[in-house]
Structure 1
Amino acid sequence: MQPQVVTPGAKAHFKHIPVLIVGAGVAGLTASIMLSRMGVDHILLERRRAVHGLPKAHIVSAKTMEIFRQLGLDEEFYRRGGPIERFSRFNWMTSLAGPTPLHGREIGHVDAWGGGEDVTRYANATPCEYTNLTQIQVEPLLNEEAKRCAPGRIQYGQELLKLKQDDSGVTARVRNVENGVEWEVRSEFVLGTDGGRSVGREVGVGWVGQQELGQALIIHFSAQLHPWIKDPRQAITIFLSPDNIGHGLWSGALVKMGPTRWGTDSEEWVCHIGMPETGIPQDEAVVVDMLRTTIGIPDLEPVIHSVGGWSIGGVVAEKLHIGRILLLGDSAHRHPPAGGLGLNTAVADAQNATWKVAQITKGNATLELLHSYEEERLPIARTVVQQALTCLGRQTEEVAAVLRGFERGQAGWNALDRFFADSPEGEQLRTEMAQMFRKTNFGTRMLGVELGQQYVGGGIVSDGSRPKPNPDPIIEYVPEARPGHRVPHAWIYRGSQRKSTIDLAVIDRFVLVTQPTARREWLEAIAAAAGEVGTPIDLVTIGENGDYEDSMNNWAALNGLSEGGAVLIRPDSFVGWRTVALPKNPGQELTQVLTTILGKARALTHA
């Protein structure tokens, strides 16, 4: 049933819509685009009247770019964002400048986000690179695409007042913030992507974790800083000054924001500073003075764009699945910016949730499939929040430990003087600092966290294998085509055209990958399964005389298959099932696997 069109000034009322999304942040807008791609009608409501906000999130990970690649948005992100060679260094300094030889000095740095020494390691793991694009640029880009895909369905200035859920759907009470008109919408499913402001509260979901460790001020400004920043790779700088110690010993952080130049001549920047006891300053002169003090440039003349605050803490929602309601993004997990995990985890939440909701609305799956959203994403939420909190603490603690005696006042300057001194002690301290930076994870080299996520639960059918050993699951990624893992990246070829196995995943269907010699058996199996499950299933063969050639044996080295074996790729690019060899009855086996993943087997069991 098509929803009634909203008439400005009239009592707006949608009779029915399959999916209601509440909140037009990154998770909500991504979910909208994905549902549109899958042909699922929906509306997205946002209490704000327009796209705006503070530029907090900005690192877009390689995994997120794989998801945007599936949506055909990757080229636009790369066009607008900063290239990896312009944000591949994360460094620590006393300041950018200042009155003494100890000011404007670099303490140390690490390679970041697949740059520097990590280029080859990341290139072997994924077809995508990171990009640097601030949230105030990401959201308009996604908003533009969401509106193009679903005209009239992206509605700003609409505030959720009440949710009432029953066995057949959810009724939402909404208010137009401009004219006060209240209206209702009935939907089959609700995706809560509003940062926990309304949906989670309405269904009684609380938070677990450290709600607030402190407060930080965030200043978005324009200034020409290239006279003081010499390295174009410099993306984030943590300042450590004994005269200006805030939360966790740090004095502040400077972040490059582009938006059109991404070297030392970046037009815009963000500075994070400890929140004053009096709260967010209302006087711009006070803000400018704080900025000058933190950066160390007393005559800086910045143009201030916005000033706000954020809470330093890390929490996870108690539940992510409540009946027909799913919580995504900041409604499911909130964490400090260390590691850049917030925006990226939100996009992955949207990918996981939407293909499942789409399969249910199309009649291919049962409500049981929704259980797998929480089974898969809640452990990930806990992991990334803990990782962000760990990285936040280490960002200054490890540095201060090497400096030995870094604290407020003259004692701190004495420690820095010993560190930078042209002496045996200074040389030893600098060597120790460089070694510490190489071995400590500061949240900038987390390939294992990003690509090594492992799902278990009803949305995965195990093949009985055990994961390969990984000595450092935070930093290192071990590729494998085991059920519950993201399908490993390998370059395959069709003539002169190169394609990644990541690209085999299709947003609205399953893909079965096998060898050309088993094509007939698996086509027959797909035909047999289609009568039971309904969902589309594509067959792709890789090997000699197949759909794609594996001329370098890249795929063969990773898939763990013998003759006739197959890997089933879910719409979100995760392996749902693998059979090492051709089963005795492929049709029966594939049917059982798909009914299990789609919740039909469990629904029959519970009946």
Structure 2
Amino acid sequence: MVDIDAPVLVVGAGPAGLTMSNLLSRYGVRHLLVEKHPGTAHTPRAHIVNQRTVEIFRHMGIEDRLLTAATPSELMGNNVWHTSLAGLELARLHAWGTGPDRAADYHRASPSPMANCPQTVLEPVLLDAAQEWPEADLRFNHEFLSFTQDSSGVTARVRDRVTGAPLTVRCDYLIGADGGRSRIVEQAGLPIEGQAGLSAAVNIWFEADLTRYLAHRPGVLYWNAAPGTPFLTGGGTLICHRPWTEFVMVVAYDPATETIPHSDEFAVQRIRRIVGDPTLTPSIKGFATWTINHQVASCYREGRVFAMGDAVHRHPPTNGLGLNTSIADAFNLAWKLATVIRGQAGPGLMDSYSAERQPVGRQVVDRAMRSVEEMVSVQAALGFAPDQSEADGWAALEGLYLPGPDGDARRAALREAVELMNYQFNAHGIDLGYRYRAGAVVTDGSPEPAPERDPQLYYQPTTWPGAYLPHAWLDRAGTRLSTLDLVQGTHFSLLTGIGGQGWTEAARTASEATGIPVDVHHIGTRDGLHDNYGDWATLRGTSTSGAVLVRPDRHIAWRANEYNPDAADRLTEVLGELLGLAGKRGGVDGSLEFDKSR
């Protein structure tokens, strides 16, 4: 007996699962989401929200809700290394694209800013939006237990944790967004590669008014560099979640030799130490223990079962990539599920999810781990060494203030070490620059553009197939909009210009043949979208009569350098290949036909 029948079952109401719910609803797909806990995140956890993620919120129509709830980018600007907040400041770095040397890069790359928004705030934004859709059946206190799958679908067992009642769910597809201890990954047999438990830490969530220590140097991260402590984060790293009253202090420790008590007494003592104020009376809100892992699944799919988010990529919080990568996983998969469920694409399209997202997950895991390793350079430049006494540590710091060549060398070494931290805190290319080199992409025969600058630090926009659609500001009837705003729902978008009028009819023909809507946008024509700054002309990568085909998740699917009389046939072939449709020549005109009767 089946208690619930839904096209999609999503397990987990974290950022990935709630994003998936919002997108499926927006795309008209009925679904069930189950979460074993009674509500959304009860501790702040991840908090950095990069521009690509804010753009996805923009696509979902809730960017304004996120930015209203989040800390704005101008209050994220400083990374500070200190012996205590009230004591000696050792170094400072402009972070998250706020420095005068990087602000233009970030501003130019996206219509959306970065933000700082802990999961305790971000998840309710997503949940409130998800609850507005009739397509979504959201059930908290419902625990996923197991599944079996066959050629036509998945049968899952779920338990209501309040009543104890079992539920049987039948779905076409099962989505595992159930975190780092994913049952779905385990039961599906998705292989996890890498190491777990490389080190340990405790998060201490608290409230205290630290305005006088932080308001003049606003930021997200304050790194304690206390002499005589064995860890990269000194006595504890301070993460600001609400300026300047709500924080998480991260205390690293070696579980083989040390335990960290989850007690108010310990927390208050340690907070006073890193702030440097023995009279401070913080209010302790909670504790959470976690470990550093360096793991990624080698495949994100088994049959009709898919996994995303922390279930398949597990890594340190450095670079702030976890939450953002999880939401991008959902953005990639949602439109593919919708088009396949509606019969607009063949099941082969689903293969592209793992082919596209797994390499991104591997890159993220490796970059985050490398950033941890690079932090050692700051400790070394400060003169700290393993097993060093506190007195020796303070003596080492004095070397930074010596006059003459020795002092100059120490100061230069510290500047060099802090500069290396740009790969963690200003890695714009990592945030925005990933490209899909295999999957639902049709090459135009051109080589991948070589990087003009360091590809980790700098984002290089391109319309090369597999890249993300570059942002450029356009005008239509007195309204400013981004090229990213041209992509709506699960429609493909075709961007062309002067001389490309024939693409309108070509798109109509291709859409009729495949069943997938294709919206055509003329940029630069007298009665079309106006490229007043000329930015799109610089970025488009084709002639004015050419076309750039954009997928629903805003990645470039294909492009043509110019309009040709065979444009309709070629566009139809491309869409058929992208969507996994089997086509054949038929009819009196020999046009390409597809079987859409699945």
Indicate whether the TM-score tops 0.5.
yes
Q: Say which of 466, 487, 491 aligns to 2:473.
A: 491
* Aligned pair partner of 2:491 in 503, 509, 519: 509
Q: Distance in 2 between matches of 1:219 and 1:142?
A: 25
Cα shift at 1:145:
0.9
Q: CA deviation at 1:601?
A: 4.1
Structure 1 residues 299 and 130, CA gap change in structure 2 (3 angstroms): same
1:106 equivalent in structure 2 = 89
CA distance in 2 between counterparts of 1:158 and 1:312 reads 28
1:466 maps to what in 2?
A: 447
Q: Tell me the distance in 1 between the aligned counterparts of 2:360 and 2:479.
A: 35
Over 3 Å counting, the alpha-carbon distance change for 1:274 and 1:602 in structure 2 is: farther
CA deviation profile, 1:448-490 (whole Å, cap 9, x unmatched): 1121111022300001112222141110111111100001111
Q: Distance in 1 between matches of 2:510 and 2:356?
A: 25
Residues 34, 354 of structure 1: 8 Å contact kept: yes
Ranges of 4+ aligned residues in structure 1 off by more than 6 Å = 602-605
Partner of 2:351: 371
State the one-letter code of the partner of 1:564: S
Cα separation, 2, equivalents of 1:602 and 1:240? 64
Match of 1:8 in 2: none
Once residues 366 and 320 of structure 1 are traced to their aligned partners in structure 2, the CA distance between those partners, rounded to angstroms, is 19
* Residue 311 (structure 1) aligns with: 291
CA distance in 2, matches of 1:137, 1:461: 39
Matches of 2:539 and 2:489, distance apart in 1: 23
Q: In the alignment, is residue 13 of structure 1 matched against residue 13 of structure 2?
A: no
Partner of residue 234, structure 1: 219
1:579 Cα deviation after fit: 0.5
- When normalised by structure 2's length, the TM-score is 0.93
**1:259-304 CA distance string (max 9 Å, x none):** xxx3xxx120110001474645243212222333344333321100
Pick from 82, 90, 101: which aligns with 1:93? 82
The 1:300/1:94 distance shift into structure 2, 3 A limit, reads same
> What pairs with 1:137-536 in structure 2 (closer than 5 Å)?
137-150=121-134, 153-195=137-179, 196-246=181-231, 248=232, 250-258=234-242, 262=243, 266-275=244-253, 277=255, 279-395=259-375, 397-407=376-386, 408-409=388-389, 410-421=391-402, 425-470=406-451, 471-519=453-501, 521-536=502-517
Name the residue aligned to 1:549: 530
1:563 CA drift (Å): 4.2
Quote the Cα distance in structure 2 between the aligned partners of 1:422 and 1:219: 40
CA contact (8 A) 2:227 2:384 kept: no
Output the CA distance in 2 between the equivalents of 1:302 and 1:165: 51
Q: Secondary structure at the match of 1:600?
A: coil
Give the residue type in structure 1 aligned to 2:205: H
- SS of 2:320's equivalent? coil
Change in 2 beyond 3 A, CA 1:281/1:440: closer
1:81 aligns with 2:60: no
Alpha-carbon offset, residue 344 of structure 1: 0.4
> Structure 1 CA distance, aligned partners of 2:573 and 2:123?
41
Question: Is this contact kept in 1: 2:30–2:135, CA < 8 A?
Answer: no
Whether the 8 Å CA contact 1:12–1:182 is kept in 2: the answer is: no
Q: CA deviation at 1:428?
A: 4.2
1:456 maps to amino acid: R
Counterpart Cα distance in 2 of 1:313 and 1:162: 25
Partner amino acid for 1:371?
D
Q: Which amino acid aligns with 1:175?
A: R
Match of 1:101 in 2: none
Matched to 1:106, the amino acid is E
After alignment, is 399-408 or 380-389 more displaced?
399-408
Q: Would you say the 8 A contact 1:563–1:581 is kept in 2?
A: yes
CA contact (8 A) 1:543 1:550 kept: yes
Q: Bigger shift: 196-205 or 455-464?
A: 196-205
**CA gap 1:86/1:371 in 2 versus in 1, 3 angstroms:** same
Answer with 369-378 or 531-540: which moved more.
531-540
Aligned partners of 2:353 and 2:439 also within 8 Å = no
Measured on the aligned residues, the alpha-carbon RMSD in Å equals 2.1
Q: Could you tell me how far apart the structure 2 residues matched to 1:173 and 1:230 are?
A: 51
The correspondence of residues 555-566 of structure 1 with structure 2, limited to 5 A, is: 555-566=536-547
**Structure 1 equivalent of residue 588 of structure 2:** none
Cα gap change, 1:320 to 1:65, in 2 (>3 Å)? same
Equivalent-residue separation in structure 2 for 1:563 and 1:242 (angstroms): 61
Q: What is the aligned partner in structure 1 of residue 579 from structure 2?
A: 598
In structure 1, the gaps of 5 or more residues are 1-10, 98-103
Contact 1:376/1:457, CA 8 A, preserved across alignment: yes
* Deviation of the 1:167 alpha carbon: 0.5
Q: Secondary structure at the match of 2:535?
A: coil
Give the number of aligned pairs: 580
Residues 275 and 309 in structure 1, CA contact (< 8 A), matched pair in contact too: no
Q: Answer whether contact 2:130 2:136 (CA < 8 A) is retained.
A: no
Amino acid at match of 1:52: A
Match for 2:229: what amino acid? N
How far 1:427 sits from its partner (Å)?
A: 4.4
Three-state SS of the structure 2 residue aligned to 1:524 is helix
Offset at residue 439 of structure 1 (A): 4.8
2:97 matches 1:119: no
